[in-house]
Amino acid sequence: MLRPGFCLFDTGRHALRFAQSYSEPIWYNPAFVSKKMPAVGWAVKGGKLSRAKLLFALPVFALAVWLVWQAVPRMTGAAPEVAFTTITGKQIALREWRGKPAIVTFWATDCPSCMLEIPHLLDLYQKFHPQGLEMIAVAMAYDPPNHVVEMTRARQLPYHVALDLNSAHALAFGDVQFTPTTFLISPEGKIAEKSVGVFDYPSWQARIAAMLNKG
């Protein structure tokens, strides 16, 4: 079982592209299986599936499907009623940001994709915070608090950083498993965007600008 907060990196993206590229059921095409899914293709011999090897291949394929499913943005509607405690001890209830766009990102200090996303978050914060954008980065439960504090200082993160020591926040946001998972919340308190993996910076920049101009 994967621990909460599996760093997505590019695995889910590759699996999603794979699923979107092929609509033909692969079990009916052994040649396709051998070429496109090595783990499954290993179980194919002369166009027939070995039962023993198929038992090995099926969980691998199931894992790929699960990664795709996790990568599909599904959570919509109202943002959860949660209250964060930042690493400086400040209490922030998400409802306090009603009337402003807000970003809530789940991250980890050992997540390469999270490090890639930080410059985008910094740019959005510096550009839009003076106009009202709020932002908080929530460290996953398995991330040592001292690592989070050190990383926050080393990167000089200007936005709020919180710990999720018992995974309550991850559960409230739909049982977040992968990092980074980032939510854009509208001024009305609705989840406007969800991104698993590094978010689409141009798209989010335009969306936030539109929310602020509307307000």
**Structural domain count, the chain:** 2
Does 176 lie in the same domain as 93? yes
* Residue 153 belongs to domain spanning: 83-214
Does 114 lie in the same domain as 146? yes
Higher pLDDT, 26 or 187: 187
Does 56 lie in the same domain as 30? yes
65 — pLDDT class (breaks 50, 70, 90): low
Query: Which of 47, 71, 95 is where one domain is finished?
Result: 71
| Mean pLDDT within 132-144 | 97
Q: Is this model's pTM higher than 0.95 or not?
A: no
Q: What is the pLDDT of residue 167?
A: 96
Query: Which of 51, 71, 91 is where one domain is finished?
Result: 71
214 — pLDDT class (breaks 50, 70, 90): confident
Does 196 lie in the same domain as 114? yes
Q: Note the pLDDT tens digit of each residue in 146-204.
A: 999 999 999 999 999 999 999 999 999 999 999 999 999 999 999 999 999 999 999 99
75 — pLDDT class (breaks 50, 70, 90): low
Q: What is the pLDDT of residue 97?
A: 97
Please tell me the distance from the alpha carbon of residue 40 to that of residue 22, in angstroms, as a whole number.
16
Higher pLDDT, 189 or 74: 189
Q: Which domain CATH number covers 100?
A: 3.40.30.10
Does 41 lie in the same domain as 87? no
For the chain, give the mean pLDDT: 79
Does 90 lie in the same domain as 43? no
Higher pLDDT, 103 or 58: 103
Does 136 lie in the same domain as 180? yes
Residue 4 lies in a domain: no
Does 158 lie in the same domain as 90? yes
Q: What is the pLDDT of residue 32?
A: 40
52 — pLDDT class (breaks 50, 70, 90): low
